[in-house]
Amino acid sequence: MARSGHRSRYTRYDGGPDPLAPPVDLAEALDAIGEDVMAGYSPERAMQEFLRRGGRDQVGLDELARRIAQKRRELLQQHSLDGTMQEVKELLDRAVLNERKQLARDIDLDDTDRAFREMRLDSLPQSPAAAVSELSSYDWQSSDAREDYEKIRDLLGRELLDQRFAGMKQALEGATEEDRAAVQEMLGDLNELLEKHRLGEDTQEDFEEFMAKHGQYFPEDPQNITELLDALAQRAAAAQRMLNSMTPEQRAELMELSQQAFGSPELMQAMSRLDDNLRSLRPGEDWHGSQRFEGEEGLGLGDGTGVLQDLADLDELAEQVSQSYSGARLDDIDLDKVQRQLGDQAAIDARTLADLERALKETGYLRRSADGQLKLSPKAMRQLGKALLRDVANRLSGRQGQRDVRQSGAAGELSGATRPWAFGDTEPWDVTRSITNAVLRSSSEGRTGPGVRLTMEDIEVSETEARTQACVALLVDTSFSMAMDGRWVPMKRTALALHTLIRSRFRGDALQLISFGRAARVMEIEELTALDPRYDKGTNLHHGLLLANRHFRKHPNAQPVLLIVTDGEPTSHLEADGEVRFSYPPHPRTIALAVRELDNARRLGAQTTFFRLGEDPGLARFIDAMAGRVEGRVVAPELDDLGAAVVGSYLGSRKGGRGPVGEHMGDWFGGRGWWVG
């Protein structure tokens, strides 16, 4: 079979996000969002703040906004708008100088004629535009002078066309009369097409016929009349803004000079007609804006229009990056404009931010509630809790992974013995013994050949010792002093870490989270994590202990574990009628009621640990006395170590002060200066 002559070409992928790129890493984003949520931000605002700040290796929106503002500032400080005028003046001065030289050395010229010509050159107006107009009928004696003067007309024509059609200045350099006639014909056909479109009488065939004839003038390669209109109107509006940005004198000079373009008034008429059509069809473009240029590098009309378009792009990008308008999304950012204005890497950074935002919503980490607000999903809470638990494990063990237990949901501790599997067993298989049984059985049956066939009779399971279940009540102080002294977020981190540990490693344990401020209440972890700092006057430990004891009574066969995190003495209590009574300094009745409920917890068998935050001597004396009354412990951790202290205390309580954690609890606390009672 004959080989095909087709040859494959491999080019850079340009069809959207790289399909081979690794997925975005959400771990850092989730950690940062979770921290902000626990500090009181809404999940939506927390996500926006992360996208603004960026991460360790990820540029954020603020940095993109800074680059946009810097690029805009550089354009305005670098350029001025008199480039074409300067070039016209240079050509004019050179033409006049060459003409004077020619008059001086032309011996065949009549003296009267020479004097008349010199007088005419001497009396030229100061205005370059007026001088060019005055010399339009001058009979040049110098061929070099005539060439320079014609260059002025050619330059003006190419610059005016370049304002409306990018690249025309270079394309028409050295153009013939036939080339100029072709441009004039294109303008005529374009105006007819636009006027037909304005009346609603055009067709796609009309557009395609126009592009087949004049497509070389439109490098944007529009596919329909709408795309053509957009490209033309955006550049024409930028040209008008450039004109608006000039001084009145510059503007007057340019308008007068424009009449000399190509020495053809028909060109200006066609351009004026084009502007009228574009204004009518695209009134929403910015036709009235202006900019203040302060630099010294002169811009020609075409280049200046390009810079005005760049400024418009930068202004649009600044608005997109600000995300300050209703319904804003990072997908709104025009990546092509970012790449054009700030470079490839900036476009990659912007695309990654959009991917992050999309992934956070589409992968289920953020979900929108019935009221339209974004919330951290249970999946996000688990991910955040795992990160916090890893940090706790590092602080507990001093090295990564030591506390990463692999017995999730096990029924007890392994005893080292095994037994045959029976229906209903949930203990883990002893794989080594099971395979050995299969090999021995196969050998006794005389089986040969590769592989081992495992039957139910071969399977043995590892025996476990019964493991005591725990009933845990974590009481966290939510009075205003916790937020005022920077303890709000560490408190939430602690609760989430303990919640994650129990839900993932000790699922048989019953955890209840109880907040106590002026009053106490049972809270789900999502509610506590999103709780805003508040001015809650009162520390109602009495009410919190009441709820904890109710929780313990619901689980009579479990070991009660009472963990109390606070930074203040009790200043409120719950009366029999349900009313809250507040008193500062603490009223004796408030203290007595708190002590009574603590005694009740002891009678229920609770192992109690107080976590004292702050250095208040009165608080220290009170907590020492409370802990001593119930043979409890007192821990005074640094804020960064609060989570590790609470989790460590819980693990030690589960083992009754024995085992790997319990054996080292005293040394660990004492070594860090935490054991105070």
Q: How far apart are CA 455 and CA 434, in angstroms?
A: 9
Residue with tokens 């005028």: 85
Can you give the pLDDT at residue 659? 35
Report which of residues 372 and 643 the model is more confident about: 643
pLDDT in tens, 486-499: 788 788 878 888 88
pLDDT of amino acid 501: 81
520-523 and 510-516 beta bridge pairing: antiparallel
- Is residue 545 within 8 A of residue 594, CB to CB? The reply is yes
* Under 8 Å between Cβ of 466 and 412: yes
Whether 59 and 87 map to the same domain: the answer is: no
Encode pLDDT of 420-457 as tens digits.
876 556 677 888 888 888 888 887 777 776 777 888 88
The residues pairing with 561 across neighbouring beta strands, listed in sequence order, are 472, 607
pTM recorded for the entire structure? 0.63
Max CA pair span of the chain? 136
Mean pLDDT of 33-49: 72
- What is the pLDDT averaged over residues 41-64? 81
**Does residue 403 form part of some domain?**
no
- Distance in angstroms (rounded) separating the CA atoms of residues 293 and 584: 66
Planar angle of CA 207, 210, 212, nearest 5 degrees: 110
CA torsion sign for 167, 169, 173, 175 is positive
DSSP state of 220: T
Do 128 and 246 fall within a single domain? yes
Report residue 2's pLDDT band, with 50, 70 and 90 as the boundaries. very low
Q: Average pLDDT, stretch 305-329? A: 88
Which residue, 516, 528, 522, 485, is CA-closest to 590?
Answer: 516
- Do 581 and 562 share a structural domain? yes
In this prediction, residue 465 carries a pLDDT of 53
Q: Is there a domain that residue 14 lies in?
A: no
Please give the share of the chain, as a percent, with pLDDT higher than 90.
28
CA–CA separation, 633 and 641 (whole Å): 16
Residue 305 domain flag:
no
Assess if residue 677 is contained within a domain. no
**Inside any domain, residue 396:** no
Could you tell me if 647 and 669 are in contact, meaning their C-beta atoms sit under 8 angstroms apart? no
Q: How far is CA 283 from CA 154, 161, 192, 240, 274, in A?
A: 31, 21, 19, 13, 14
- Kindly state whether residues 452 and 494 are assigned to the same domain: no
What's the length of the chain? 677
d(CA 81, CA 356): 42
DSSP 8-state symbol, 675: B
Amino acid 403: pLDDT: 36
- Between residues 36 and 610, the one the model is more confident about: 610
pLDDT of residue 369: 63
Same domain, 336 and 235: no
Residue 459 above 50 pLDDT?
A: yes
101 pLDDT band, cuts 50/70/90, is: very high
* Residue 554 pLDDT > 90: yes
pLDDT at 91: 93
Question: CA nearest 622: which of 558, 577, 567, 661?
Answer: 567
pLDDT per position as a tens digit, 110-163: 888 889 999 999 999 988 888 988 898 899 999 999 999 988 888 888 888 888
- CA–CA separation, 469 and 472 (whole Å): 10
Task: Please give the share of the chain, as a percent, with pLDDT higher than 70.
Answer: 81
Check residue 522 and give its pLDDT.
94
Q: Do 360 and 492 have their domain in common?
A: no
CB 293 within 8 A of CB 244: no
Give the count of domains, the chain. Answer: 4
**Other Cβ atoms within 10 Å of 462 Cβ, number:** 17
Q: What integer is the mean pLDDT of 205-218?
A: 93
Poorest-confidence range of 128-137, 253-262, 369-378, 458-467?
369-378
Q: Are residues 43 and 119 in the same domain?
A: no
Write down the mean pLDDT value for the chain. 81
More confident residue, 648 or 305: 305
Question: Whole domain around residue 593: which residue ranges?
Answer: 470-671
| Residue 411: band (very low, low, confident or very high) from pLDDT cuts 50, 70, 90 | very low
pLDDT in tens, 167-186: 888 878 877 888 888 989 99
User: Is 617 contained in some domain?
Assistant: yes
Q: Residue 492 maps to which CATH number? A: 3.40.50.410
72 and 124 assigned to the same domain: no
Lowest mean pLDDT among 366-370, 390-394, 403-407: 403-407
| Residue 273 pLDDT exceeds 50 | yes
Residue 45 has pLDDT above 90, yes or no: no
Is residue 16 in a domain? no
Same domain, 284 and 331: no
Task: Give the range among 125-134, 184-193, 643-652 with minimum mean pLDDT.
Answer: 643-652
Before 378, cis peptide (omega within 30)?
no
Q: Say whether both 526 and 576 belong to one domain.
A: yes
Q: Which of 136-145, 248-257, 259-268, 428-437 has the highest mean pLDDT?
A: 136-145
Check whether residue 156 and residue 266 sit in a common domain. Answer: yes
Question: In this model, does residue 46 exceed pLDDT 50?
Answer: yes
Let me know whether 650 and 530 are in one domain. yes
- Residue 94 confidence (pLDDT): 94
Q: How confident is the model at residue 256 (pLDDT cuts 50, 70, 90)?
A: confident
> Which of 260, 292, 324 is the last residue before a domain boundary?
292
Strands (DSSP E) along 453-507, which ranges? 460-466, 470-477
390 occurs within a structural domain: no
pLDDT at site 377: 63
